[in-house]
Amino acid sequence: MADKALPQYLTISQAAQYLNTTPNTLRVWEREGKIKPSRTAGNQRRYTQEMLDATLGKKKACIKQSGQADYWLLPCFF
């Protein structure tokens, strides 16, 4: 999401785009306890930029630790 201010709460699709991943990956990360989105009254997931930046920071640390450029193949899990 380039050069636009993000809304306070992001949908799962917006969050996936921000992290350059898929909504399914976010669902898996939630099941694994790696990220905990808020929920609306209709039980839809909502993410904040701060939450996503923290998750992105953990991914970057994992990449740096492994020395690999492609985090999709990383053996470590943040």
CA distance 22 to 44: 16
Give me the CATH topology for the region 12-73: Multidrug-efflux Transporter Regulator; Chain: A; Domain 2 (1.10.1660)
Q: pLDDT digit string (tens) for 38-76?
A: 999 999 999 999 999 888 876 655 655 555 554 444 444
**What pLDDT, on a 0 to 100 scale, did the predictor assign at position 49?**
92
If you compute the radius of gyration of the chain from its CA atoms, what whole number of angstroms results? 13
In this predicted model, which residue has the larger pLDDT, 16 or 7?
16
Q: What angle do CA 2, 72, 35 make, to 5 degrees?
A: 70
Domain spans of the chain, in order of start: 12-73
DSSP state, residue 7: P
The closest of 45, 67, 76, 58 to 19, measured between CA atoms, is 58
What is the overall mean pLDDT for the chain? Answer: 79
Q: What is the pTM of this model?
A: 0.69
**What pLDDT, on a 0 to 100 scale, did the predictor assign at position 59?**
63
